[in-house]
Amino acid sequence: MNCPVTFLTAAAGFAADRLIKTVASRKEGRRTFFKDKVTFRKTTNKGFALNKCEGKRGLVVAVSIAAFLAVVFLFGITLRDEEYRNKRPAAALLLGGSLGNLYERIRYGSVIDYISVAPFKKIFFNLADVLIAIGALLYMF
C-alpha cells in the first residue's frame, strides 16, 4: 500500500465511522437481526470500553489523546520506513478508528455505540472500535 492510499484508507475509515454515528444518533429504538443475534440501538459511552472511568472526562480525553498520538507515531513509522510497508493497512485502520472515537470524545464528551452481537448482548460498540481491533490484530501479525 503506497502512502496516498494509506492516508485515503484512514480518511475513509474516519468518514464511514462519522457517517454511521450520525445516522445512529438520529435513530431511536432497538432493532434486531439474525434471530436476535445482532442488535442495533444507540447508546453513549462517556468512558473507555464498557464505560470504565465514566465520570472522569479529563482522564478519558487525556488517555485517548495519548493513545491517538501513539497511533500517529506508528503510522509515521510505517510511512517512513519501507521495512514496515506491510503494516500500512493496519496503521491506516488504527488511525481512522482512533480519530473517530477521539473526535467524539473531545467534541461531545462521549462516543456513540450502536451494535451488539450475541453472546455479548450488553456490550455495544461502533465502527471505530472495529477498525481499531482489526488494525491492532493486523499490526501484530
Q: Would you name the residues annotated as active-site residues?
A: 113, 129
Written as nine digits, the cell of 60 is 478519558
Amino acid at 107: R
Residue labelled with grid coordinates 488511525: 95
Cα 20 to its chain centre, rounded Å, is 12
Cis upstream peptide for 4 (omega within 30°): no
